Homo-oligomer: A and B are copies of this chain.
Amino acid sequence: MYNCELLRFMNITDKQGNLTPVEGNRDIPIEIKRIYYITNVENGAIRGYHAHRKLHQVLICLKGSVNIKTLNPKEEHIYKLDNSYTGLYIGPYIWREMFDFSDDAVLLVLASDYYDESDYIRDIDNYMKEAKHRF
């Protein structure tokens, strides 16, 4: 199991605009304890560079586009998120990097738990050591 998966949400479109609902534990496999969102990312900036030991997340690009590289010790994938009705589920022990943010990109992240610094692995060598027996 790679521990990453694209999810497709409802997109209710009419002349009043687009509306997408996402219900915790229903449309996504996690409860939404925390959200965060990223905007105004400079051209060329790369974010992420970490993995989580326990946290599950769903990334949704609400406007514009962004590329997400995910990897574990055995596989690497790049996902282009460029619409508001697709989410990228990322499970524990997946290293992620976000890059090629468009100027107008708005990236929303839904997280299964509150912020906990001890859940982060921020060094790729340490990540590889901890993760290599899990995949």
Give the interface of A toward B (CB within 8 A).
15-24, 26, 32-42, 45, 47, 62-63, 84, 101, 104, 106, 108, 110, 114-115
Contacts and interface: CB of A to CB of B under 8 A. Distances in A.
A40 B17 contact: yes
Contacts of A84: 37, 39
A47 B32 CA distance: 25
Given A63-B63, A63-B106, A22 B35 contact: yes
Contact of A35 (B21, B36, B38, B41): B21
Contacts of A19: 36-38
A74 to B, nearest CB: 29
B23 A114 contact: yes
